[in-house]
Amino acid sequence: MQVNIEKIENIYIFSLEGNLDSNTSGDLEKKLIPAIDPNNTKFILDFSALHYISSAGLRVLLGAAKKLNQFGGKLILCSVKPDIKEVFEIAGLLPIFPIVDDPEAAAQKILQ
């Protein structure tokens, strides 16, 4: 999996490409969790090139959401394929991870 990171003003955008599973979730965790602090609390995860997510990937996202919650931050998912969205639905995680159509909608939602 490849993780591309961009920061626009005070919003981090993590674009994920490939599979987020037990083999790759550690790479995302090493980049995402340390980026979260009291001064960096707005994160968008662009899933447009993500093909698969496992429970290990969900665990990393839950860890990020928990840490962001400590600072009153937001984590928005965008461009989520239907089969990946279904994983979030089945796991009951949609209340924790807002999902929008594209990065522009994510940026609007995160600034609300």
Prediction pTM value:
0.95
How many CA atoms lie within 13 Å of 70's alpha carbon, on the beta-carbon side? 11
- pLDDT surpassing 90 at residue 38: yes
Confidence at residue 79, expressed as pLDDT on a 0 to 100 scale: 98
Q: Mean pLDDT in the chain? A: 96
The dotted CATH code for 2-102 is 3.30.750.24
Specify whether the CB–CB gap between 42 and 8 falls below 8 A: no
Q: Helices marked H in the chain — which ranges?
A: 25-35, 55-70, 82-90, 103-110
Instruction: Give the mean pLDDT of 88-92.
Output: 96
- Structure confidence at residue 112 as a pLDDT band (50, 70, 90): confident
Domain ranges (residues) in the chain:
2-102
- pLDDT surpassing 90 at residue 91: yes
Using alpha carbons, select from 8, 3, 10 the residue that is nearest to residue 32.
3
